[in-house]
Structure 1
Amino acid sequence: MLPDLTCLKLDTDRLRLESISDAYTDAIFGEFTPTIATYMYPAPAQERTDTEQFVTEAVRNNRQGRDLTMVILDRQTGEFLGCIGLHNLTEPRPAFGIWVKESAHMHGYGREAVRALKRWADHYLNYEYLTYPVDSRNMASRKIPESLGACIVNQYDGTGGMGQPLTLITYRIDR
């Protein structure tokens, strides 16, 4: 049985992952920029109300146990660093999604957050394997599943939310 996904907190040495809430709307709106979205499907919100809608939907999906969307915070200072999610929790192959704000790149926060959420999934979910979709050009993000021993299971072309072409690869992450 899943714990309450609307108030979950996971700690690592440096990070706290906390269930998304309205309290982080401004931080998400300000930090999910076109640069961050370069290799992603979603486009940055044009208006704060778009981010409000995203947060409301994420909280609803957490409540219903469909997804787990969390914010990534510096454990010592509480500084907002980004967002992480594990989507389609009831499916045999839940999918990771993650972004870290630009000023927090190259510190290993993404890897640390994914490892923490994978540990949680190993304990609470009955899954075949986890997936990690990423644009093939996003080398920093590709290193995250590779650090977990993941292998590529699929590749396909797509279009991101800003109209940019994407060549997505999907990694398989086993227990």
Structure 2
Amino acid sequence: MNHSDLSQCRVNTDRLLIAPFTAADAGDVYQAITPTLTRFMNFEPEESLAAFASVWENWLPLIREGEEAIFVARMRDSKQFVGMGGVHGLRTPTPELGVWVKESLHGQGYGREITLAIAAWASARYHPQYFIYPVAEQNTPSRRIAESLGGIIKGRRENIKYDCVVYHLPAIAG
């Protein structure tokens, strides 16, 4: 495997199979991207699966080239789609973490589990100074994830849809 090619990476947990996004995941991902889910995200749901393809097709070379890690999480037992997590700017000293979980599974700790698994993997492989974790100021559950992982608010961003606080999360010691 090419060291930068992330397409074969796995960051599984006791409950979840977490693997890089592939074209086969597109339908499940698309179904879960709802207007209420995206109210605290800087994108809107695409109007069709075909329109969504123009988004995810851009992810594949970034994953192959090792620029970004974009993961899909599924239940270990049933393979049910749970959500997505990613690390952007992997080759920078301060990569950016992001996560979302399908609405029907909110409140069960999956967001933290996905974020922790990806942060531990990226910490061991890339040794960042820290992670950037931007979150909508009103998104209390996502803020709890950041704070539970040692995140501290270090800045703000204005977004078209919402105001953001920017956490710095420490790298995870191996």
Give the TM-score normalised by structure 1.
Answer: 0.93
Note if contact 2:4-2:64 (Cα within 8 Å) is conserved in structure 1.
no
Q: What's 1:135 paired with? A: 136
What is the identity, as a one-letter code, of the residue corresponding to 1:60? P
Asked if the contact 1:152–1:172 (Cα under 8 Å) also holds between the matched residues in 2, the reply is: yes
Cα shift at 1:157: 1.8
Contact 2:73 2:83 in 1 (8 A): yes
Structure 1 ranges of 4+ moved more than 2 A? 1-4
C-alpha deviation, 1:42, in angstroms: 1.2
Aligned partners of 1:12 and 1:156: how far apart in 2? 32
Instruction: Output one character per residue of 1:25-82: Cα deviation in whole Å (capped at 9) or x when no partner.
Output: 1111111110110011011111212221222111110001110001011111110011
The answer to whether residue 97 in structure 2 is matched with residue 96 in structure 1 is yes
Q: Give me the whole-angstrom Cα distance separating, in 1, the residues matched to 2:3 and 2:124.
A: 10
Secondary structure (helix, strand or coil) at the match of 2:63 reads helix
User: What is the alpha-carbon distance in structure 2 between the residues aligned to residue 53 and residue 144 of structure 1?
Assistant: 30
5+ residue gaps, structure 2:
none
| 1:80-108: CA deviation from partner (whole Å, max 9, x where unpaired) | 01111100101111001111111110100
Give distance in 2, aligned partners of 1:50 and 1:120.
Answer: 31
What is the distance in 2 between the residues matched to 1:54 and 1:36? Answer: 17
Checking the alignment, whether the CA contact within 8 Å between 1:135 and 1:166 is kept in structure 2 is yes
Shift of 1:2: 4.1
Any conservation in 2 of the 1:28–1:51 contact (CA below 8 Å)?
no
- How far apart are 1:156 and its partner, in Å? 2.4
Q: Aligned residues, how many?
A: 170
Q: Give identity over the alignment, percent.
A: 31
Q: Deviation at 1:3?
A: 5.8
1:168 paired with 2:164, answer yes
Q: List alignment gaps of at least 5 residues for structure 1.
A: 160-164
TM-score (norm 2): 0.93
The equivalent residue for 2:147 is 146
Report the aligned-residue RMSD: 1.3
Instruction: Name 1:53's counterpart in structure 2.
Output: 54
1:2–1:124 contact (8 Å) kept in structure 2: no
